Structure 1
């Protein structure tokens, strides 16, 4: 497991990359067809460049739309059309925010197991939860992401 500094560098890199993918919508006909049509390339031309049949190109376009195409196929087709296939996992929020949400979830669950917690004032409860969440973020225990 990377140390804190490595995790933070990776998180910042992912956050910067996520900004580039803010618009994650795909073309209506898929990326293969969109690139091919934009280039004015027939399926036959792509097939010749890739060394497959025209029907294989059409099948790949259908598979892409269905979500069953392989990453390798996308990579090869992109290269055949003079492009590069990019694969990414884009976080739904900044990495630190995702970690903080999880730390709060864990802190709230821990609070319910805290003796007499229900009798504490709202301020005491919130302080305890905030402290527990901060401790979770600091320690990042090995079970941090386990589901309960």
Structure 2
């Protein structure tokens, strides 16, 4: 498990990636067909460059749209068309926000286990949840991401 400083660096990398790819969604026809058509290449031309049949190119385009194409295949097709295949996992929110949401969820679950919690004032309950979430973030126990 990386230490705090390493996790923070990794979080910055992912957060920057999320900013760069925020408006990037796959084109309706998929990346392969879109690149091929933008270049004015036929499936036959791509197939010759790749050393496969035209039907293999069409099948790859269908597989991409279905989500069943391999990364290796995407990389290979991008290369024969003069492109680079980029693969990324982009967080839906900043990493710190995702971690805070998990810590808050854990704190609420812990609160539900306290028999007297419901008898506390709303301010006391909120303070306890906030403090517990902060502690969860600070400690980052190995079970932090467990669903229990």
The TM-score with structure 2 as length reference comes to 0.97
> Could you tell me which residue of structure 1 aligns to residue 123 of structure 2?
123
SS at match of 2:69: coil
* CA distance, structure 2, for counterparts of residue 108 and residue 147 of structure 1: 13
Q: Runs of at least 4 residues of structure 1 off by over 4 A? A: none
> Could you tell me which residue of structure 1 aligns to residue 61 of structure 2?
61
Q: Deviations over 1:91-124 (max 9, x none)?
A: 1100000000000000011111124111111111
Q: Deviation of residue 24 (structure 1)?
A: 3.3
Q: CA RMSD in A?
A: 0.9
Q: Deviations over 1:9-58 (max 9, x none)?
A: 10011000111111232111110000000001111111111111111101
> Could you tell me which residue of structure 1 aligns to residue 93 of structure 2?
93
Residues 72-111 of structure 1: matches in 2 within 5 Å? 72-111=72-111
* CA distance, structure 1, for counterparts of residue 103 and residue 135 of structure 2: 8
**Structure 1: gaps of 5 or more residues:** none
> Could you tell me which residue of structure 2 aligns to residue 32 of structure 1?
32
The TM-score with structure 1 as length reference comes to 0.97
> Could you tell me which residue of structure 1 aligns to residue 15 of structure 2?
15
